[in-house]
Amino acid sequence: MPLHRRALLGAAAAGAAFSGYALRAEAQPGSETYLNEVYGYGALKPDPYKILDLPEGFSYRVISHAGQTMDDGFFVPYKADGMGAIPLGGSKIALLRNHELGPRDLNYGPLGHGRKLADRLKPGQAYDVGADGFPLGGGVTTLIYDLKSQRLESQHLSLTGTLVNCAGGVTPWGSWLTCEETTLSPKAGLGKDHGWVFEVPARSKGLVAPVPLKALGRFQHEAAAVDPANGVIYLTEDSFDSKGLFYRFLPNDRRNPAKGGRLQTLGFVDAPEGGDARNMKGSEPSWKVGDRKACAWIDVVGADNPDEDLRLRMQAAGAAFVGRGEGIFWSPEGVYFTCTSSGPAGHGQVLRYIPSPQEGQAGEADAPGQLELFVEPSDSRVMDFADNLAIAPWGHMFACEDRYSETLRNHLKGITPDGRVYTIARNVFEGNAELAGACFSPDGSTCFVNIYWPGLTLAITGPWASFRA
């Protein structure tokens, strides 16, 4: 049954009045303690199959895994990362799933061990080849899922020959923007430049033409979010030195980014020489949770970035640094995005950009957009290295942890509209890879999530309406 956001927000507010924002510690045998700032759905129950621990009443099913033969004859690639859910009508949805394969992942792509299925690809179907002449393994797979029967109907390869497809974003017109988190080029023995965004329509029946959306810039893209009212695309950059930027793309055609537009980076009105949103470990914090900074947007020069210095050039021009920008999601309340390693304790941040009423238009400077520090955990047990991000139909954020550790497990965390954190699930699969690609079915019944390595896609169902503040 669809959930009603207003009812859940009301319950959260009422609960907060009595809880005093108390932290609730929960532990399970053989696992670390986690801290809930609100009750959420209660303690996690150990999974007898040792894949995913969930609260009482919740369950999951594995609907796809790496190495399976898909309906088109190709293999499900490994490294399942960002993912989006797009309605197809009735009870059917399409899941568009990224695979973050690099040039050395020779045997983990859709062509299988030894790239034995290379002959199945027609000329031009793969964007690029590696130094050995074989198509690169990164790309996107499309899964068709029936919510009524809770069954996977089919899966096929929809984009291939790209690299390090990390996250992306769903568009209002029914496609998936998949982002390359690398700027490798022919200098590394490849045939083409990488670091682009590609578009994959949800209704494509097979491989789409691999056309990079070059106007969206060339950099270590992470994810994208589209404002359905005006088609503005917001973009995160996962620069591994934590000196990335936050971008927006003002399209010429709000439903077709291939027709070009203006790429800009975010800066702060009070820091015209370049600001800093990171509150990095070891430095004096420049703002605290709840603070907002008035924003200015700076036109990008040289978006094709041939010298791979775009972020440094633009910071010198007044753009603000953010620390490893990752998952991003649009909502009527603002554009939320994660910064994995920022914050004084190094556990990450969630930022919210509140667009101007005149976003991208004349008069914007008179009522500029605002960037808010929304969440900044000081304890890793509350939340640690939040990466992929999604917003459930009732307004709660779902954040995937991405901390590789031999002792600390990765969790799926929930964040309430007032910024309090609770735990939804724990990855107990062998290897403790990151959780990735969290997304919700439009009817609110099913949460989909990936276990990155080797690559499992899970469908989670349960009593979502039982949330307690």
Decide the pairing of beta strands 411-415 and 421-427. Answer: antiparallel
More confident of the two residues 281 and 306: 306
Tokens of 397: 């954020």
> What pLDDT score does 409 carry?
93
- Distance from C-alpha of 281 to C-alpha of 269, rounded to nearest angstrom: 24
Give the SS3 label for residue 359.
Answer: coil
Give the pLDDT confidence of 159-209 residue by residue, as tens digits.
999 999 999 999 999 999 999 999 999 999 999 999 999 999 999 999 999
Confidence of residue 283 (pLDDT cuts 50, 70, 90): confident
Give the pLDDT confidence of 129-149 residue by residue, as tens digits.
999 999 999 999 999 999 999
Size (the chain), residues: 469
Percent of the chain with pLDDT over 90: 88
Percent of the chain with pLDDT over 70: 94
Tokens of 445: 């019944």
Output phi, psi for 16, to 5 deg.
-65, -35
Confidence of residue 27 (pLDDT cuts 50, 70, 90): low
Predicted TM-score (pTM) of the model is 0.94
Q: Which residue has the tokens 């050039």?
A: 313
Q: Which of 27, 22, 131, 117 is nearest to 75 (CA)?
A: 117
Secondary structure string (H, E, C) spanning 262-322: EEEEEEECCECCCCECCCCCCCCCCCCCCCEEEEEEEECCCCCCCCCCHHHHHHHCCCCEE
> What pLDDT score does 31 carry?
61
Confidence of residue 282 (pLDDT cuts 50, 70, 90): confident
Confidence of residue 346 (pLDDT cuts 50, 70, 90): very high
Give the pLDDT confidence of 292-336 residue by residue, as tens digits.
999 999 999 999 999 999 999 999 999 999 999 999 999 999 999
Domain locations in the chain as residue ranges: 67-212
